[in-house]
Every structure is written in C-alpha cells, then in structure tokens.
C-alpha cells in the first residue's frame, strides 16, 4: 500500500513535470502549421542583378539552349525550380532557365504581376530653401514639380508600385550647406530604399524667352569627374521610354534625349534619369505646365513609361 502510494505520487509529479512540455509541444505544432499556411502564399522570387547587359532566358538549363527572352537588371521573376547552377523561372508568359549566378533569390509575395514588386524613387527637383527656376508670374519650379510628383506617386501606387520621394513638400532631403550634400542625400536615399529606378522631375529656365521644350537626361559617360552611373544602359532605356510618353503628353517642343553629367544621374547606384518637363521662362510652356488636366495626363504617362520599362513585352 505504502509502495503504491509512493508510486502514485511519483506518477503525479512526473505528469506535472511533463505537462508544460506537452502543452509546449502542442503550441509548437500549431506554430509550424501556421508557418506552412503562410508559406503557401509565398513564392520564390528572383531579382536580376547585373552590372551590364541583359540576362538570357534559355529554353533549357545550359548555355547551348536557345534564348527565349532577355531580362534587364532589376527584373523580378518567379522561381519555379532551383537546379545547381540554373533556376527555372517564369517571366510574364515565358517559362525558361536563367543562370543563378545573376539572380538573387528570396521568398516573397508575388500575387501581382511580375512588374509590380518594384520600388520607384521620385525626386522632385529643388525644395526647401531652393526654389529652382522662377517664372515671371512667380511660379516656383520646386512647387510646380512637387504637383507632378505627388500625382505621379499616387498613380504609381495605384498600379502596385512602392514609391518613395527624396524630399517633402516643404523640406529638402537634408539640412545642407553645399548643394552637393543635398544631391548626395537624394542619391544615397535611392540606394538605401533599394530603388529599382530613380526619376528626377524638373522644369527648366533660360535667358531666352523663346527657349522651350521637353528634354530627358541620362548618364553614360565619365568625362566629368571619372564617375558614371552603374546602370547606364538601363538608364538610357528608361530615358527613352519616359521621353516617348512624356514629351507628347506635355505637348511642348521636343528637345530629345541627352547623355549628360548631372549629379543625380552620374552618382546614382540605380538606373536614373532627369526630365525637364518644359521651360518656365517660356510663357507657352508655363501655361502648359500649370494646366491641371495636362498634369494628370503627364502623371498617367509616367506610369505607362514605368510599366513598359519593367515589362517590355507588355503583359
């Protein structure tokens, strides 16, 4: 009897000691179930990282296989299967293989189109204590480009893009002494937020009142100080697209594309362009640029250009 009682006590103690472990194990099981559920919505996403050129999508996992399509730097693709050196991917409607060497693969949510996991930095020119160009009616470039920037941001976000601005409505990017500190802040910001592209929005001024037009700048040269944009080919392609959509939307003279050494293009670690929408010292351009309907049209055209940049095949 005494022995039985001792055994019972030992048994109760043992159960009491084990109980938390049993409960814990159950909790752990629940946790595992939850994570399985979450990961069902997640897929492997590959981001193309190149210093130049494009990444080939091939029909099979070898360099001897036919090229089906090309992916520019920064493209996001769905990774279906990972082999040792190749990844089977889907991009728009193309199924194929790309070299894993140029693909950063991570788990993420790809429930929108491949083009929509992108980060766009919009850089409204000037701001803070720098008004930029000033029109004869007192319009500040900094305020005018702010209007274009917020409209474009709103429409890009509606399309699923993540958008960051380099400054606020009233303040500059940093409290700077030299303008170079301010521009460095804007360029570093793009790198910090892992931007896929950087678009700087400006309006021009000129001593000649007749001077007008829309021009888009990119950087593919290092003759100024040895520095050059890391993604000049992508910058040029972005500049071409922005120009082809925005210039007609503004409706001013076509000043084309120019390969220049502007700081925010030259020093940027991501594809970068600078657009001068029009010229504030020209009365016809000023009227066009202040028109609200035109502003909305231009903002929508930015979205079209950005869509086209990220999904060249148009799907």
**Of these, 72, 74, 125, 278, which contacts Zn ion (CB under 5 A)?**
125
Contacting range for Zn ion; rule: CB under 5 A; set: 5-13, 34-42, 100-108, 125-133: 125-133
In the complex with Zn ion, the residue whose CB is nearer, 12 or 179, is 179
In the complex with Zn ion, the residue whose CB is nearer, 201 or 306, is 201
**Of these, 127, 132, 278, 312, which contacts Zn ion (CB under 5 A)?**
132
Structure tokens at 291: 């028109």
Assess 96 for contact with Zn ion (CB under 5 A).
no
Smallest distance, Zn ion to C-beta of residue 45, A: 36
Contacting range for Zn ion; rule: CB under 5 A; set: 26-34, 53-61, 131-139, 252-260: 131-139
Phi and psi, residue 240, nearest 5°: -60, -45
Smallest distance, Zn ion to C-beta of residue 276, A: 7
d(CA 265, CA 199): 9
With CB under 5 A, what is the number of residues at the site for Zn ion?
3
Classify burial at 239, counting beta carbons within 10 Å of its beta carbon; exposed 0-12, middle 13-18, buried 19 or more. Answer: buried
d(CA 157, CA 143): 21
Smallest distance, Zn ion to C-beta of residue 243, A: 17
Contacting range for Zn ion; rule: CB under 5 A; set: 119-127, 223-231, 237-245, 264-272: 119-127
The residue assigned the tokens 């005494």 is 2
Structure tokens at 160: 């699923």
d(CA 65, CA 264): 40
Contacting range for Zn ion; rule: CB under 5 A; set: 18-26, 28-36, 129-137, 302-310: 129-137
Considering only residues 166 through 185, tell me which ones interact with Zn ion, judged by CB under 5 A: none
**DSSP single-letter state for residue 116:** G
**Of these, 151, 202, 236, 237, which contacts Zn ion (CB under 5 A)?**
202
Smallest distance, Zn ion to C-beta of residue 77, A: 36
d(CA 154, CA 138): 27
Name the nearest CA neighbour of 236 among 272, 196, 188: 272
Contacting range for Zn ion; rule: CB under 5 A; set: 169-177, 199-207, 208-216, 238-246: 199-207
Smallest distance, Zn ion to C-beta of residue 205, A: 8
Among all residues, whose Cβ is closest to Zn ion?
A: 202
**DSSP single-letter state for residue 3:** H
What are the DSSP calls for 92-123, one per residue? TTEEEEEEGGGEEEEEE---S-GGGS-EEEEE
Sheet holding 272-279, edge to edge: 162-165, 119-124, 197-204, 272-279, 214-218, 254-259
Q: Which residues bind Zn ion (CB under 5 A)?
A: 125, 132, 202
């Amino acid at each position: 009897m005494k022995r039985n009682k001792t055994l019972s006590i030992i048994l109760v103690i043992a159960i009491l000691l084990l109980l938390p472990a049993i409960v814990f194990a159950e909790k752990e099981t629940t946790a595992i179930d939850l994570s399985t559920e979450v990961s069902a919505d997640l897929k492997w996403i590959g981001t193309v990282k190149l210093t130049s050129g494009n990444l080939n999508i091939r029909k099979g996992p070898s360099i001897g296989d036919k090229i089906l399509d090309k992916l520019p730097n920064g493209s996001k693709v769905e990774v279906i299967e990972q082999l040792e050196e190749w990844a089977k991917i889907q991009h728009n409607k193309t199924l194929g293989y790309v070299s894993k060497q140029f693909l950063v693969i991570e788990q993420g949510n790809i429930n929108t189109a491949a083009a929509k996991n992108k980060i766009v930095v919009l850089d409204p020119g000037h701001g803070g204590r720098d008004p930029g160009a000033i029109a004869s009616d007192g319009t500040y470039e900094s305020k005018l480009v702010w209007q274009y920037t917020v409209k474009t941001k709103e429409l890009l976000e509606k399309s699923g893009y993540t958008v960051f601005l380099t400054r606020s409505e009233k303040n500059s990017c940093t409290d700077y002494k030299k303008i170079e500190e301010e521009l460095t802040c804007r360029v570093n910001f793009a790198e910090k937020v892992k931007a896929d592209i950087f678009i700087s929005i400006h309006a021009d001024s000129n001593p000649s009142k007749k001077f007008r037009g829309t021009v888009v700048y990119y950087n593919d040269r290092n003759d100024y100080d040895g520095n050059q944009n890391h993604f000049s080919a992508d910058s040029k392609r972005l500049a071409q697209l922005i120009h082809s959509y925005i210039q007609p939307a503004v409706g001013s003279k076509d000043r084309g594309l120019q390969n220049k050494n502007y700081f925010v293009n030259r020093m940027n670690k991501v594809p970068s362009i600078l657009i001068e929408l029009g010229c504030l010292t020209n009365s016809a351009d000023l009227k066009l640029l202040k028109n609200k309907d035109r502003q909305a049209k231009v903002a929508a055209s930015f979205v079209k250009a950005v869509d086209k940049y990220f999904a060249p095949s148009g799907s």
